[in-house]
Amino acid sequence: MKTRVRFAPSPTGPLHMGGVRTALYNYLYAKRRGGDFILRIEDTDSHRFVPGAEQYIIESLRWCGIVPDEGVGIGGPHAPYRQSERREIYRQYAEQLVASGHAYYAFDSAESLEQARAQAEASGQTFIYNSATRSAMCNSLTLSAEETERLLRETDTWTIRFKMPLGRTVQMDDLIRGHVEINSDTLDDKVLWKRADSLPTYHLANIVDDHLMEITEVIRGEEWLPSLPLHYLLYEAFGWQDSMPRFAHLPLLLKPVGNGKLSKRDGDKMGFPVFPLRWVSPTGEVSRGYREDGYFPEAFVNMLALLGWNPGTEQELFSMEELVEAFSLEKVSKSGAKFNPEKAKWFNREYLRGKDDAELAEAFLPLLEAQGVRADKAFVVKVVALIKERATFVSDFWDIAWYLFKAPTEYDPKDAAKFWKDENPARVQELAAFVRDFDGAFERDVIGPALEEYIRSREWPMGKVMNALRLALTGSGSGLGIADVAALIGKEEFLARVDRCCKYA
């Protein structure tokens, strides 16, 4: 049987990086087994629907290189893939369950449920709508057939609840957690059909769609583990247990410090993105994204892949193809993974170094333009080659190498005090004179050694003079090698900068 997995987010806001990881693991699992990855949108909660969220999800997956084989935005043999467009499908299944005695109509008002809960709480107990209490509630099991008929006909305020069996030990198997069992008496009669918007709840829609779409493995977040027994029982009630998918519940992504799962707040507080892409909420609130923060999608994906999974080898850098090749659910860990923003940066640094100079130059060009600099592409390629080992993001380039594009107009006071003193200004001027008369090629490996040789011949202290010269050329006492700077800015600019610095002082 062909492997078919799905990622089924709810469009209630931007896709969290934990969600991206779930999508990624699904994708990797499918591709490893030559199967299909399906994107299904679970928008059965009309109240929490957020405009733009679905497009955001699609765009995020695209940016990460997680390409669905079927689903919203792509289509496929099981279309539509948006649950709100499948509402007619679910109704019959919900009623089938009522007909077979696995579910029933419930007419309890929100107030009466509230009251039941309050009452239970007052006596120190928790109200559970199940075999222990359902006989005292208002539903098709307690009402006469006629009354039920009447209510169904005359009102539209009914729900369908699953009739949780009494005294069952549900035996479950999870691909990551192994065997899990639970007594059904601790579970409640979950609502399968909501009166609120005439739609199924997650549980019903999810099971029906996974069945209809021939899903073979359900890989989802750990927060779903508590509802796994209900899902098992639902498959059983439908008589679908033979084709029931296997389940894998992924560990949660936790906040970098302290306890609890990673939330949007943590990102804001600690200065890292929680979302793949920048998101502007309908109320205008902005959340930063990995893409806009300058992360390469490959780095983001690589980092995410290793948060909760390991290849069993010491390899850390993986292309998507390599991830597909190496991925297996057996190597997914059980415990939650604290996200480490520093490691995320490390991954980006590694990927930045691996990029070729022309590509990086291309990415740098717009930033130069924003700084009002017009630069020749070939020149930028040379600059990038020199600085990429010093950067984490392309956006670091300007701060690292701005002085290769324009002359400094100010000089770091501390460095100036340290280096622009004693004989040094005079020495730098003498060096400039030497450079003026220098008729060798103005290249790194020619002018560099020439300068060194001159300094040595004059028996000046190498470090002090070089730093004074650096100050003149770059405005700072630290940075790129003098030979590189000199070669890149050229003889004329070299002389002009020394001249300007001397006058400035």
Q: Which of residues 477-496 bind RNA (CB under 7 A)?
A: 477-484
Q: Any contact of residue 462 with RNA (CB under 7 A)?
A: yes
Of the candidates 254, 296, 292, the one whose C-alpha atom is nearest the C-alpha of residue 273 is 292
Question: 80 preceded by cis ω (within 30°)?
Answer: yes
* 284 three-class SS: coil
> Candidates 64-72, 103-111, 278-286, 493-501 — which segment interacts with RNA by CB under 7 A?
103-111
| Binds RNA by CB under 7 A, chosen from 195, 211, 288, 491 | 195
What is the closest distance, in whole angstroms, from the C-beta atom of residue 374 to RNA in the complex?
26
| Binds RNA by CB under 7 A, chosen from 50, 98, 113, 373 | 113
Is residue 491 part of the annotated active site? The answer reads no
Measured CA to CA, the distance from residue 208 to residue 238 in angstroms comes to 9
| Binds RNA by CB under 7 A, chosen from 355, 448, 493, 502 | 448
| Binds RNA by CB under 7 A, chosen from 33, 87, 91, 194 | 194
Name the CA radius of gyration of the chain, rounded.
Answer: 32
What is the closest distance, in whole angstroms, from the C-beta atom of residue 217 to RNA in the complex?
18
251 vs 408, beta carbon nearer RNA:
251
Q: Any contact of residue 39 with RNA (CB under 7 A)?
A: no
| Binds RNA by CB under 7 A, chosen from 199, 277, 301, 326 | 199
What x-and-dash track marks residues 53-92 binding RNA by CB under 7 A?
----------------------------------------
What is the closest distance, in whole angstroms, from the C-beta atom of residue 221 to RNA in the complex?
8
* 237 three-class SS: helix
| Binds RNA by CB under 7 A, chosen from 51, 167, 178, 284 | 178
Q: Which residues of 118-145 are buried (b: 16+ CB within 10 A; e: fewer)?
A: eeeeeeeeebbbbbeebeebbbbbebee
Q: Any contact of residue 306 with RNA (CB under 7 A)?
A: yes
DSSP 161-192: EE-PPSS-EEEEEETTTEEEEEEGGGS---EE
What is the closest distance, in whole angstroms, from the C-beta atom of residue 177 to RNA in the complex?
4
- Cα 355 to chain center, whole Å? 21
Measured CA to CA, the distance from residue 32 to residue 21 in angstroms comes to 16
244 close to 206: Cβ distance less than 8 angstroms:
no
286 vs 317, beta carbon nearer RNA:
317
Q: Any contact of residue 226 with RNA (CB under 7 A)?
A: yes
> Candidates 197-205, 236-244, 358-366, 497-505 — which segment interacts with RNA by CB under 7 A?
197-205
29 vs 129, beta carbon nearer RNA:
129
Q: Considering CB under 7 A, how many residues would be counted as binding RNA?
A: 84
- Cα torsion for 421, 426, 429, 435, to the nearest 10°? -110
Q: Residue 132: what are its φ and ψ, rounded to 5°? A: -75, -25
Q: Which of residues 239-278 bind RNA (CB under 7 A)?
A: 251-252, 254, 256, 259-261
224 vs 398, beta carbon nearer RNA:
224
Q: Which of 264, 338, 355, 464 is catalytic?
A: 264
What is the closest distance, in whole angstroms, from the C-beta atom of residue 389 to RNA in the complex?
4
Task: Work out whether the CA dihedral 153, 155, 161, 163 comes out positive or negative.
Answer: negative
| Binds RNA by CB under 7 A, chosen from 154, 314, 321, 410 | 314
β-pairing verdict for 246-250 and 217-221: parallel
Q: Which of residues 359-418 bind RNA (CB under 7 A)?
A: 389-390
| Binds RNA by CB under 7 A, chosen from 60, 130, 148, 201 | 201
- Cα 26 to chain center, whole Å? 14
Reported as type and span, the H/E element at residue 480 is none
| Binds RNA by CB under 7 A, chosen from 39, 215, 307, 487 | 307
- Cα torsion for 394, 322, 335, 38, to the nearest 10°? 90
Measured CA to CA, the distance from residue 188 to residue 283 in angstroms comes to 37
User: Catalytic amino acids?
Assistant: 264
